[in-house]
Every structure is written in C-alpha cells, then in structure tokens.
Amino acid sequence: MSIMHSLVLLSGVLALSQIVASALAPATKQCVQLEVPVPVIATNRHYSMPRVDSNIDAIDWTVNVTTWSEPSAEDRSIRLLPINSTFKISAQLCVPLQSGPKANVLQIATPGLGFDKRYWDVEINPAEYSYVDAAVGKGYSILTYDRLGTGKSDKPNAYDVVQIPAEVEIIAGLTKLARSGKLLSSSKVVSRSVAASDSATPLSSFRPSKVVQVGHSFGAFLVALNLAKYGSLADGAILSGLLTTNLTTMIDVLHYDHEFAREHDPVRFGDYPSGYFVLNTQSCLQKLFLRNGAFEPEMLPYVEKIKAPEAVGEYASEGTNPFQPALDFKGPLQFFNGEFDNFICRGDCRGIYNETAARVLFPGVPMADLVSYLQPNTGHALTVATNASAGYQVMLQFLDSRGL
C-alpha cells in the first residue's frame, strides 16, 4: 500500500470517527426549525435609488450612494410607503433538554448584514464557535432567525419592502409570539432535532418568562430601534458589533464591494430578485468581519459559504431611521465588541466608547447595568474569531450577574 493511499485511508477513518463521535455525543438541546408567519404593519419609504440588476449595477450603486454631490438619504425619500403584510420567517428555537432556572429565559438573536441565522450556530467545531450551543449549555433557550430577505425567509421587494421599519416590526412580532406562548402553535414545524418526549422543557407549551434581545452589527442596530419602540418587551439586551463612539465617521460601502446576488452565484442565490446584492470576495469578507491572526484558516471559506445577500432598501432606510432613546427599556444592556473591529471602529475600538451618548440612548438602564466590553484580538464577527467561546462566557456571565 502506498504512503498516499495510507494517508487517504487514514483521513477517511478520522472523518468517519468524528461523525460517529458526534452521533454518539449526548444531546444537550432540543431544536425545532420553524416557518413563522409574522404580521407586519410598518411605514417604509420609497427612495430614489439606482436599480441593481447586474454586477455592473452593484458597483454603480456603490459609487452613486457615496458620491458627495449625490442626494442624501432624506433627499432620496420620495414618499411614505405603508406596509401591511404577513411574512414567512425561518427560525430555529432551541431549548435545553434538562430544564433549569434559565430555560425560561429566551434569547432572541438577530444577525447582521451579510449573514443569516447560521451566524449564531457555526457548524465548524460548534463546541468552540456556536453561540447557540454556548447559550443552551448555560441553560438558556434561544431563538435565531433569518432576517427578511435572507436564508429561508421570504424575499420580497428589495427596494420598498426590505427596510428597517419592517425588520424592527419582525423582531417585535417574534417577541410577542414567544411571550404569548403561541410561537409553535402559530408556526409550521419544518423539522425537529430531538423527540419532544426526550426534553424536560416541552416545546409545544414553551412560554418564556423573560426575553433578552441579542443582535450583531445591523442586527444590533435593529434591536436598538426595537428597544426604542418596544422597550417593555425586553428584559435585557446584548448589542455586539455596535458601539457609541467618539469617531465622526465609519467606513462606508466604498470600502467594500458587492455583486448582484443572482449573477454572483446563480445556484445559491438564484431566487433573489432585483435589488439584492452580496459581498463579492473572501478578501472583502476578511476585511469586514475578521481580524488578521485571530481566525482559523478554514473560517474564511466558511464565511464565504454562509454569506447572505443584502437589500438596497436596508441601506436606503438607514439614513431616515436614526437611533432613538429607548425610554421604556429598563433592563441591563451590554455593548460587546471586538477590540479591533474594522467596521465599527475603523480598526481600533480602544478608548473611543462614548458613554454619554449611550446613556442618552438608554436613559432607563441603571448606571451599573449599562456596560461596554471589548473582546481582545477580535474583529467585527465574534462567532468566527478564535476566542469566540471566551467572548460567549463574558456575554452569558453578564446576563447571569444581572439576574437573567
């Protein structure tokens, strides 16, 4: 037998042993995949924006929206656009098999631009990288979902429908369904990972006593706006990849490139219509999400594999939906950021946290419960950083120390 043949055989045996070990590992959670109908009543806007129907259009759009002499977001707003629709949202609810004091604390996790719900449940070495596993391992229940226009959720008009006001209402809708105990009864169950009889936390009657909103980047921005409008629905929050800073500018889309989703990858994104674009290269993904020397080599192609398209309407609506004070939110809140976040902090978040601005936004949060934490040697995307699990411990300890 040749050395090469032996190596190939050994590789196959190791791969098989990993699969068997994974299959034999005791289950710690019960998960159910859901298709949730979420009714949305929101006031979007119709904006004068270039159409994106090709890769060439995507770059032209980038140049147009960053040219100083072009209209501002407010000036691009043509008219108000009422939305009254029900959208199918793909979600995953996971609860611990062994019910404990935190099983009735539900974390609702919103991913940012460029990702769907897989951001929270990394498949490579999940013991180290899956936030879902980390949260359930500490006894929490967690709901992750594909934002409107991503993953297996509905993909409506990318210009007029997939905008911030509608997405804020989706967070509120999911939260209300969960709090009412009707999340499963009102949803289509797509699949289950563990038989319901094996769980001490029955999914069919799951009704959390407390809800924590968790968001990453654009998802954290949506959570912050949700807290401003529906603050009493949340008992706590963690905003990752988002920080009130002393910086006057952030990097914009001129610093990274998009391509028309359907042209970029017809197999993965063939069902995305006009106005959806996707980050185009692994180099672009690295620049935005990862810190040099602080990620395993296999994570870059993994991020490429799970990347999700973005909608023109999401960018258009940012300028007309600024931060608002969350007057009714009284729970603890943690800003959790990578020390060297290129997107939020232009590469270095040290010493630029603006606590005064944070207190203006969250005036009802007790002083000791509004905190900022920087995870060492980490970029914009915590879940694919080499010290992800250490960051999760900080986040979960923060919640635990505040009675959540």
Q: Which two tokens stand for residue 382?
A: 């915590």
DSSP, res 146 = P
Q: In the prediction, which pLDDT does 200 show?
A: 54
Residue 123, classified by CB atoms within 10 Å of its CB into exposed (0-12), middle (13-18) or buried (19+), is: exposed
- Interstrand relation of 210-216 and 236-240 (parallel, antiparallel or unpaired): parallel
- CA-closest candidate to residue 315, choices 116, 112, 40: 112
d(CA 332, CA 395) in angstroms, rounded, equals 12
Q: In the prediction, which pLDDT does 193 show?
A: 81
Residue 298's alpha-carbon distances to 124, 181, 341, in angstroms, are 9, 40, 20
d(CA 290, CA 294) in angstroms, rounded, equals 7
Q: In the prediction, which pLDDT does 198 show?
A: 52
- Residue 197: which region, alpha, beta or left (left: phi > 0; alpha: psi -120 to 50)? alpha
Mean pLDDT of residues grouped by 10 in the chain (404 residues)? 37 36 57 97 97 97 95 93 98 92 96 98 96 97 98 98 98 98 94 62 83 98 98 98 91 91 97 97 94 93 97 96 96 97 95 97 97 97 96 98 97
User: What global pTM score does this model have?
Assistant: 0.92
Q: In the prediction, which pLDDT does 82 show?
A: 98
Structural domains of the chain ordered from first start: 27-47+84-249+325-401 (3.40.50.1820)
Q: In the prediction, which pLDDT does 1 show?
A: 41
